[in-house]
Amino acid sequence: MPGKYLACCFMGLSALGHPVLFAGRDALLGASQTDHRNEPRTKTGSNLRWTLYGQGYFSRRHGMFFLENDHLHVYGEVTAVADTTGKVELQGQRWPYSHEIYDLINGKWEKKLEELSQRPVHYLDFGPCDARDEIDLKRPDIAQAFRPWPGTTMKIKNVTEFPGGYAAVVYSEIPRAEGVSYGPEDRTIQVALLVRKEPGWRLVDGIEGTMQPGHFCGTKTVSAAEDGAVHPVYLVFSMQGDFSVLNSYILD
């Protein structure tokens, strides 16, 4: 595939629970990061706070994602396709995947191409993801911000700090019900935005998450131009059953 590929790394868990690194993939699993590229522009003439808004959702069966320059490639397994004669061609024969390309335009993902495709060669490698809900970053400074929520039990998966004193946090939320035992497959992946205020971090209004049971896979940060300002876009990857899911959020 032509173009400049974004390269980094992707971390997963081995069968023994030790971290393993997947090279050549621009995402991190279970890590604290600081993004120095995107300085949120001050909202002129007001004291409004920044909020993390959901502005993209992609869910594909056995899906794969790939970032090439400013393009997001989304692949999904095809179960059946009707050709021009109306005949149905089953998955696994000629074109086993759908392929869509999206561009970030004015802060939103816009579809530029949709076609049938072979299995992609370049994609973000999810590895085993966090299927057993084992990642639990020890960030007491972050966890303190969630304590006002009574009964909240959480495991922090990723913390990405942005200039201006903001941080996006991915965590799993463990349901609580008397007499009910929940396993890793019941835990939802949530996303929150925090702001640093003395003496520590505080939650910002506007919290988004998958709201469906899933396993954390990784994150990535890109940037988008909107109304003359550059905004960080926070991408969260997860698995929900046989579906690969990408939730996209913009700091606005």
Average confidence (pLDDT) per 10 residues, the chain, 252 residues: 33 32 38 50 47 90 90 89 55 75 93 92 85 92 78 85 91 79 81 89 70 86 85 92 92 86
Taken in order 114, 117, 120, 124, the sign of the CA dihedral is positive
What is the C-alpha to C-alpha distance for residues 192 and 160, in angstroms, rounded to an integer?
11
The one-letter code for the residue type at 222 is V
Tokens representing 175 are 């349901």
Helix (H, G, I), strand (E, B) or coil at 151: coil
Backbone torsions φ then ψ of 82, nearest 5 degrees = -90, 125
Sorted by where each begins, the domain ranges of the chain are: 10-62+127-251
User: What pLDDT does residue 234 have?
Assistant: 94
Can you give the pLDDT at residue 214? 87
Eight-state DSSP code of residue 144: G
Q: Which pTM value belongs to this model?
A: 0.76
pLDDT at site 48: 47
How confident is the model at residue 16, as a pLDDT?
29
Say if residues 13 and 133 touch (Cβ distance below 8 Å).
no
